[in-house]
Structures are given as structure tokens and as C-alpha cells.
Chain A
Amino acid sequence: MNPITTTLADGFWHWLWFGSPAKSSSAVARIGDELFMYTFWLSVAWFVFLMGLTFYFVVKYQRRPGKKLTRSPAHNTPLEIAWTVVPTVFLVYIFFKGFWGYADAIVAPANAEVINLKAQKWAWRMTYPNGAESPESMRFVYTDAQGNQVTSAQEAPIFVVPAGKPVQLRMSSMDVIHSFWVPDFRSKFDIFPNRYTSYWFQADEPGDHVVYCAEYCGDLHSEMYAIIRVLPEPEYRAKINSWAIPWGDGLAAVGKVLYTTKGCSACHSVDGSRNTGPTWKGIWGKEHEMEGGGKAVVDPNYIRESILVPGAKIVKGYPNQMVSYQGQLNDRELDALIAYIESLGDNPPGPGAGYGESAESN
């Protein structure tokens, strides 16, 4: 790039439009930014020319009492052809630039690291190639005008990705349409409940980037954040390996991991404290009163039913709030969660404990 284009597309002007200049943090983003700045300056030139001309005419041809009208042509074919063709040339250029940048932004390289992304009202979940999911999350913390500590309303999960390597997300939704937007990567794509869509990026520098949901999806649409944390590749590998599901350590250990990664921890505590849902501590084998009368014993069938058909039995005093995990957990994972709840019990029942009525098996 020559110095003039660099000055007009970077530094102050880039900051004005995009915030910090360091923020366009993927190779594809830079193509989009260049086209944006080109369109911006072209628009400025046209706009200043047209408005300058208007202003000049308005001042020069002000109505004066008694002044005769001046005849002027009512049309001028060469001029009209010129002002049709010249903008067309610019538009064709912008179209092709846009198309090339789009092709780069849409088609992921073959060597990309493929990560699965699930969106739901109102959370994001990534599943790494080794089956691991992120248990880490954060809130944005600010100090308000009165000096109080305030935080964002929603907890944002932290997703790690490798630096300097293309990453492709294979995205699908569990309910309504969402859209995955990372402003720093200058790209977004919609996520549907009935198909997979793709999103790819390559971030070269380590750092954090905010993910927004860009398609309106209901109450907490405005709080549907996530953090993409770019790490050097070895750190990334180490991280996702540490998050991997420890199948070798026994079912209860796996259940403990699933408890955070599948979002159970948002509503159920394991220390006895009350939350949106009942705590898991010490409930195993006990009898609980249900809404609308009746009692139920917390046994494997009860737990299985509560996970797959949460509305079937509601513990007295709690709202019917939970979403069904039908299709989200496989049988092994259900076993692991049951084992984990069992391990949190006061006196785990021995083998052959009463299993009650059999729940509907799916």
C-alpha cells in the first residue's frame, strides 16, 4: 500500500470507524476493512461534491424580485449518460471487491481446526474435537459513575482457540435462530435449528474477543455473550486436554465435569445452597414432596426422567424452569450424572436399592 492509502485507511480513520486499530484481528477482516474504507472515501467524495454543488446553486440562484427566469436545457443526453455510466463503474468495482472478500470469509481452508458450536436461548456451547467443553466463564466488570462495582448480567463462557491457525465452527441451534458475530473478526453468520452453518476465522495474536448474538432471539438476547480467547497453539492443546472428559476416572468423575460443561451448575448447587433448582447435595435416596401432591424418591429413574422430561415431576417450591436435555446427553453421560449425584448423597444406598417405577425410556 502506498503512504496515502495507508493514512486514509489506518490510524485515526480506522479508529474512528472500528475503535482500536489493533482490533481487526483476522486476515479476512482486513480485506473487509479495506473495502469499507474505500467505499467510505468514495462516498465522502461524492457527497461533498453533490452537497457543494447544491449549496453553490442555492446561493447563486436565489430568487430576486423582478428578476426574469433564465432558460436552461431540460435535459442533456451526454451528461445523463455520463452520470449513469460513471457511478456504474464504481459500483461494479465495489461489487467484485465485496464478492472476493466474501469468498475468502465464507470458504474455510482445508486445514482448519473444526469445532462444534451450539446456540440456545441464551447461551453458547463449543465442543472440541476431543469431546471437551469449556467449564470456564467470566462476567464483564465495570465501575459505574458512583464508584460501584457493576457486572454484565450474563456470564460469558470462555472458548479457547489456537493462534495462527484457521478455525472453523460447525454451528447449529437448539431452538430459534441465532447469529454468531465477533466484531473483531468482522464477520457473522446465522445459526439455524434445522441445519449446520459454518463460520471461520484465523486470529494471529493471543487475546480476547467478544461474541454477540446478532439475531433477535427473545428475552435475554441482549445478554448472549461469549469470549473467544486466542492462545498459542501448545497452550490451547493443553487447555482442551485438561477439559477433556476423564472417562478413565470413573463415572462420578465424568459426571462432575458434565455438571459444569452442560450448564447444570447454573441452577443446581452441590453445596446445599438454594438456587433456581434443588441442590444435589444429599438428595440421593431421599423422598421429596412434589408440586400438586405426591412424593418421589430420588433414584436413577427419577433423575433420568428429570433430565429428559423435566416438567414431569416438579419438586415442591421450585418453578418449572428447566429445558429438556433430550438428545443433548447420551446414555453414558446420563449414567455419569446419576453416579455423580449418588456420590453427593449422605449414605449411598447399596446395590439392589429400590428402583421404583420405571420411567419412560427413550
Chain B
Amino acid sequence: MTTLHGEIPGAHGSHGGHDHHDGSYLDRKGGMVSTIIDWATTIDHKKIGVMYLVAVLTMFFIGGIAAMLIRYELFQPVRIQTVGEMAGKATGTDLATLFGQKDMSVAQADNIYNRVMTLHGAVMVFMFIVPGIPASLGNFLLPLMLGAKDVAFPRLNLASWYVYVFGSIFGILAIVMGGVDTGWTFYTPYSSSHADPGHWRVVFMILAAFILGFSSIFTGLNFIVTVHKLRAPGLGWFDLPLFVWAMYSTSIIQVLATPVIGITLLLLVFERLFHVGIFDPALGGDPVLFQHFFWFYSHPVVYVMILPGMGIISECIAVHSRKQIFGYKAIAFSSLSIAAISFLVWGHHLFTSEGELAATIFSALTFLVAIPTAVKVFNWIGTLYKGSIQINTPMLYTLFFLFTFSIGGLTGLPLGALATDLHLHDSYFVVAHFHYVMMGGTVIAFLAGIHHWWPKMFGRMYNERWSMFACVLVFIGFNTTFFTQFFLGTRGMPRRYASYPDEFQTLHQISSIGAAILLIGFLVHLAVLVGSLFAGKKAPANPWGGLTFEWEADSPPTTHNFHHEPIAKHGPYAFDDVVPPHCDPKDYPLADPLPPGAKAH
């Protein structure tokens, strides 16, 4: 649908001046109090998306502080300095000293570290990375990308946000009451019978994860129905943006897997409070049963964490290289097949605890899931071929993702292979591997997505030069922090250690310095983005020349998203033949027209 003036008939938004009758969703209605009430009771998916964005980034900040404390403590090991004949003084208990505690015993100092380590894991997994992209960017963009006014169940959507906040409060409560030292995996019988016996805080942390699960299920259900029922006229399944495919696959996993962890956590609470023997052998239970239940949820959820990131990367790489995604169907189906296979590989978390037959089968299935993941990477790189590539912050992050996610994927191979996993399991190699996948994958993709859609969400452009500088800092900081941890792992450093033998100190120090650089990078990003809200240039409706529906809406979109119901007339990535909406054709030269009779790809 090419028009000479680059304007969609009927869809004249902010491009031609403010002639529309309903204002931006960000417009304030009345004073401070009524604005707060307006947001707190909104059923607009965009506002809920923004509220989620604020909430999950707050949790990322809390989890990040814990991460910095971990790196601070590990800068030097905890030891006993000999003072006199028998008496000793603990040294290297930096974390304890930070909290104003002098002359702690080693056990007390380790105890503080164990709580910070658990806090980092639990907050990052349950409160940040699982809900992160789907609840914030997904909520904001899914209806826009489908050409819909809202999600299928707007009130359920608001409920999910409140459930999320309610669940997070339980988590914060557990931390305020003194913290939990079970690790985010809550392995039994430690969590059920040994950790802080008789105290409520472990129960609160478990309930937090339990409640947060409902928020995931609400969002997942909503998205599945929305994709099925609210697609704009003409928008077939294979015209969907790949971000929507990723959200769809993610939602299926959320809805199917979350009830399992819900029940498991509830059983754990029963065992702790009422001594019902399920997982603790002292009460007649089996601790490995918990690990099977736990990973039956938590492995599929690894893909809840990464699939949305992959969706963002697909969008960014197509738009910023103005290229049809290479192998669209392969990417869409690989999302679905990853979602399906993800349910069959949980046993690879138990290679050092389960029987030989199970280990062998799970190892084979694990290699199976590597294939669709590899195919996606090849497709993204294939998309760059003969593209028109523009380097800006979202694209820089996309390339950054290809780099770190490839390392994350490749280092999964020796963990999936049985002989090498016996050594690497529960070592820093695993820590480095999943940070390369979760942080180098999901968080980096999240940052790409935030910068890609920021102009759309808030109607402001950020300072490109400063945010690219911050991206480079994050790249250097991230790799310095986590690449060293691969070597720590193969050389024998176990995970979840507050202390370590001397030989590991140099690598730990390099890693801690990297974490400091990473922190600076994030702070620069925060400053640039917040600054853009006050001093940023007004964003055009379509700053990057995207072809999916969200770019037809204003920046920021009006309350009802579109002035007229959009109609799909071309594929989501038909850059060769279509001038992007709201764009000047001079800035977006198309390909030569196809000779008559030739078939478009």
C-alpha cells in the first residue's frame, strides 16, 4: 500500500497537526489527586503497561543493589586472622561491616551474605524477569500491534497489576523481617525444616512467589484470548509481528506451568507450618520430589524469560535494518516449538541427583531445544544481509544481544553434556551461563525494547549519543563481570559461597570491578531516559520507519489507540514496497518495483 504522500488515508494522526478529538493517554485530567485515582483505577492497557514498567524496574533496582552487595562481599574472602594463641578475628566480612556490625563470627557474616544472595535471586526471578517484558512492553504493545483498542479483559489486566504489587509486598515483608537464606530455589528439606525454623519470613517469601504466579496467569490468559480474538481485519496469523508470536508462546507456558509451582509452593508451606511429610525425609517425604516439581515449572519459565526478549530482537533487527525478517515462519514456529520442548527438559537441573536413565534422556532432550534457538540466531544474522542498517541505541543493543546471547547459548552445551556437567553443575560456570542468557539475553533485549518503543510510549526522543555511550558501558561492564565467572567455575569455585580459597581472588576482583562499570552504565541510562521526559525533543509518530500497527498510532497514542480501526494491507516487514506510515518517502526510499509477473518473497 504505497502512497506518494506517505500518508495512510483516514489515519491522519499528529502528523498533520493536532486535529484529533481524543487526547494522548498521558494527558492529565484535573489535579494531582484525580490523576492518581485515574491511574490507580485505569483499565487502559497502556497505563497498566507503564505502571508495570515502573514496578518491575523498581524491583530490578532492589535486586541490583543486592547484586552489588554480593560483588562487594566477594571482593575478598572471609578468613580468620590469628590474634594471640587461640583467639581469632574474622576478616573480609565486608558486608557485615557495611551493616554496622563489627567483630562478627564467620557464621554470622556468611549468614548475612546468604540472605543477600537469596534476595538477589528471588527478586530478580519472581519480581523482575518473569513478569518484566510481557507485563510492561507486552501490555503496552500487544493491543497496538494487533490494531485493537485494548486487551480482551481490561479489568483482569488491572487486577493482575494489583496482584503483582500485593505479591511483591509479601516478598519485601520477608526481607524487612530479616530476610530469607534458602536460595531462590527453596530446596527442601533445608527450606521446609531447617531455615529459620518457626519463623514466618520463609513462608512470606514463598507466598510472594505463589501470589505472583497468579499475576502471570492473568496476563497470560489475557494475551492468548487477545491474540485469538482481537486481531484487526486482514491481520492473519502469519501477518503478526514476531513480538506477538513471542508473547503468544510465552503466555501458553505461563498458563500451563505456573499452576504447578503454585501447588508445589503451597505443599512446601504446609510442610513448614503443619509438618505434613512431603519433601522432608525426617517426616517421611522425599527431597528430590521437590526438585522435580520445582523445575517442571522453573525450566519452562526460563523460556518465559527469554522468548519475549527474542520477540523484541526480531522487531528491532527488522526495523533498524529495514529488512524483511529472514525465515519469518521458522522464527514463529521455533517460538512455539521452544515452548513445547521447554516442558520436557526440566531434568537437566538434576544431573547430579537423579538416576542414570533419567539423566541420559534429559540430556538428549536438552540438546533438542538447542536447535530452534540456534535457528533463531541464524535467522537474525540472515536478516542483516543486504539490509539498510542504522546504528542507534536499539540496534546497538540488538547486536549486543547477538553477541552475549550466543555466548550464553554455546556455554549451555557443556552443561547439557553429562560428562562435563558433573564438574560444572552448581559452579560459577552455571552462574555465568545463566547470566549470559538472562541478563545478556533478556535484560539486554529489554533495554533494546525500551529504547525502541520509548518515543512511542512517552512521546519524547532521548539523547542518542549519551544512551549509546551508556550501552557501551553496559557491554564492557557486563562482559567483565560475567566472562571471568566462566573461568572461576571450571577452576572449581562453587556457587552460593560467601568466601573462597585464595587462588580465586583475582578473578573475583575483576568480576566486581566489572559490576561497578555495569552499575554506572545503568545509571547513565536512567538519567538519559528520565531527562528525555523533561527535555527530550517531541517524538514523531514513527521515528524508525516501522510498518507494524503501533507506528500508525500517535506518539504517545491516544486513549483509544487509533483514530480509525487499522486494516492490514501488507506484511509487518514489507519494507521493500511500503512507505512507513507518517514518514516522508524521501527518507525511506523503497526497492525498485518488481518486474510485472514476478512474485514478491
Residue in A closest to B379 when the chains form the complex, CB atoms: A80
In chain B, positions 350-376 with a C-beta closer than 8 Å to chain A are 352-353, 356, 359-360, 363-364, 367, 370-371, 374-375
Residue in A closest to B592 when the chains form the complex, CB atoms: A68
Q: Is B176 an interface residue (CB 8 A)?
A: no
In-complex Cβ contact of B363 among A57, A66, A98, A218 (8 A): A98
Kindly provide the distance from the CB of B294 to the nearest chain A CB, expressed in whole angstroms: 13
Q: Is the CB of A215 within 8 A of B591?
A: no
Q: Is B536 an interface residue (CB 8 A)?
A: no
Q: How far is the CA of A112 from the CA of B288 in the complex (A)?
A: 28
- Evaluate whether A58 and B391 lie within 8 angstroms (CB atoms) in the complex, with A193-B189, A212-B494 already known: yes
- Beta-carbon contacts of B481-503 to A below 8 Å, as 1s and 0s? 00000010011101111111111
Residue in A closest to B425 when the chains form the complex, CB atoms: A188
Q: Is A18 an interface residue (CB 8 A)?
A: yes
Q: Which residues of B contact A35 (CB under 8 A)?
A: 414, 417, 419-420
Measured as residues with beta carbon below 8 angstroms from the partner, the interface class of chain B is: 35 or more
Q: Is the CB of A221 within 8 A of B321?
A: no
Q: How far is the CA of A72 from the CA of B324 in the complex (A)?
A: 9
- Evaluate whether A218 and B190 lie within 8 angstroms (CB atoms) in the complex, with A66-B589, A188-B423 already known: yes
Q: Which residues of B contact A62 (CB under 8 A)?
A: 389-391
Q: Is the CB of A149 within 8 A of B328?
A: no
Kindly provide the distance from the CB of B537 to the nearest chain A CB, expressed in whole angstroms: 20
Kindly provide the distance from the CB of B431 to the nearest chain A CB, expressed in whole angstroms: 12
Q: Is B28 an interface residue (CB 8 A)?
A: no
In chain B, positions 281-317 with a C-beta closer than 8 Å to chain A are 281-282, 286-288
Which of B47-55, B104-112, B467-475 lies at the interface? B104-112
Q: How far is the CA of A218 from the CA of B108 in the complex (A)?
A: 11
Q: Which residues of B contact A88 (CB under 8 A)?
A: 371
Q: Is B421 an interface residue (CB 8 A)?
A: yes
Q: Is A176 an interface residue (CB 8 A)?
A: yes
Q: Is B543 an interface residue (CB 8 A)?
A: no
- Beta-carbon contacts of B330-360 to A below 8 Å, as 1s and 0s? 1000000000000000000000110010011
Q: Is the CB of B420 within 8 A of A101?
A: yes
Q: Is the CB of A61 within 8 A of B419?
A: no
Q: Is the CB of B367 within 8 A of A94?
A: yes
- Evaluate whether A222 and B419 lie within 8 angstroms (CB atoms) in the complex, with A61-B387, A176-B194 already known: no
In chain A, positions 11-55 with a C-beta closer than 8 Å to chain B are 16-19, 29, 31-32, 35-36, 39-40, 42-43, 46-47, 50-51, 53-54
In-complex Cβ contact of A58 among B282, B330, B384, B416 (8 A): B384
In-complex Cβ contact of B503 among A19, A58, A181 (8 A): A19
In-complex Cβ contact of A105 among B82, B91, B419 (8 A): B419
Residue in B closest to A194 when the chains form the complex, CB atoms: B281
Q: Is B90 an interface residue (CB 8 A)?
A: yes
Q: Is B114 an interface residue (CB 8 A)?
A: yes
Q: How far is the CA of A177 from the CA of B503 in the complex (A)?
A: 27
Q: How far is the CA of A265 from the CA of B384 in the complex (A)?
A: 69
Q: How far is the CA of A213 from the CA of B427 in the complex (A)?
A: 11
Q: Is A219 an interface residue (CB 8 A)?
A: yes
Q: Is B381 an interface residue (CB 8 A)?
A: yes
Q: Is the CB of A219 within 8 A of B423?
A: no
Q: Is A302 an interface residue (CB 8 A)?
A: no
Kindly provide the distance from the CB of A327 to the nearest chain B CB, expressed in whole angstroms: 12
Q: Is the CB of A83 within 8 A of B378?
A: yes
Residue in A closest to B491 when the chains form the complex, CB atoms: A19
Q: How far is the CA of A112 from the CA of B499 in the complex (A)?
A: 34
In-complex Cβ contact of A216 among B190, B385, B419 (8 A): B190
Kindly provide the distance from the CB of A357 to the nearest chain B CB, expressed in whole angstroms: 29
- Evaluate whether A43 and B410 lie within 8 angstroms (CB atoms) in the complex, with A63-B389, A70-B386, A186-B423 already known: yes
Q: Is the CB of A18 within 8 A of B420?
A: no
Q: Is A91 an interface residue (CB 8 A)?
A: yes
- Evaluate whether A18 and B601 lie within 8 angstroms (CB atoms) in the complex, with A74-B326, A153-B80 already known: no
- Beta-carbon contacts of A224-246 to B below 8 Å, as 1s and 0s? 00000000000000000000000
Q: Is the CB of A54 within 8 A of B399?
A: yes
Q: Is B98 an interface residue (CB 8 A)?
A: no
Q: Which residues of A contact B463 (CB under 8 A)?
A: none
- Beta-carbon contacts of A179-197 to B below 8 Å, as 1s and 0s? 1010110111110111001
Q: How far is the CA of A58 from the CA of B390 in the complex (A)?
A: 9
Residue in A closest to B588 when the chains form the complex, CB atoms: A69
- Evaluate whether A176 and B419 lie within 8 angstroms (CB atoms) in the complex, with A39-B414, A51-B403 already known: no
Residue in A closest to B359 when the chains form the complex, CB atoms: A102
Q: Is the CB of A50 within 8 A of B381?
A: yes
Q: Which residues of B contact A63 (CB under 8 A)?
A: 322, 388-390
Q: Is the CB of B79 within 8 A of A152?
A: yes
Q: How far is the CA of A150 from the CA of B497 in the complex (A)?
A: 18
Q: Is the CB of B591 within 8 A of A69?
A: yes
Residue in A closest to B93 when the chains form the complex, CB atoms: A153
- Beta-carbon contacts of A107-151 to B below 8 Å, as 1s and 0s? 000000000000001000000000000000001101010001111
Q: Is the CB of B79 within 8 A of A216?
A: no
Q: Which residues of A contact B195 (CB under 8 A)?
A: 218
Q: Is the CB of B384 within 8 A of A74?
A: no
Q: Which residues of B contact A293 (CB under 8 A)?
A: none
Q: Which residues of B contact A54 (CB under 8 A)?
A: 381, 384, 399, 402
Q: Is the CB of A190 within 8 A of B353?
A: yes
Q: Is the CB of B498 within 8 A of A222?
A: yes
Q: Is B422 an interface residue (CB 8 A)?
A: yes
Q: How far is the CA of A197 from the CA of B356 in the complex (A)?
A: 12
Q: Is B535 an interface residue (CB 8 A)?
A: no
Q: Which residues of B contact A183 (CB under 8 A)?
A: 423, 427, 491-492
Q: Is A217 an interface residue (CB 8 A)?
A: yes
Q: Is the CB of B79 within 8 A of A153?
A: yes
In-complex Cβ contact of B576 among A71, A99, A106 (8 A): A71
Q: Is the CB of A74 within 8 A of B324?
A: yes
Q: How far is the CA of A183 from the CA of B594 in the complex (A)?
A: 62
Q: Is the CB of A32 within 8 A of B389?
A: no
- Evaluate whether A32 and B82 lie within 8 angstroms (CB atoms) in the complex, with A213-B494, A219-B107 already known: no
Q: Which residues of A contact B575 (CB under 8 A)?
A: 69
In-complex Cβ contact of A148 among B78, B81, B370, B422 (8 A): B81
Can you report 14 residue pairs joining A to B where beta carbons are below 8 Å apart? A19-B503, A29-B423, A43-B410, A50-B378, A75-B330, A95-B367, A149-B82, A151-B88, A177-B353, A183-B491, A214-B427, A216-B183, A219-B181, A223-B110
- Known contacts A51-B402, A216-B183; can you find 17 more A-B pairs with CB under 8 A? A50-B377, A51-B406, A53-B381, A61-B387, A71-B591, A74-B325, A74-B326, A79-B382, A87-B371, A92-B367, A94-B416, A99-B363, A152-B79, A154-B106, A181-B492, A193-B281, A223-B110
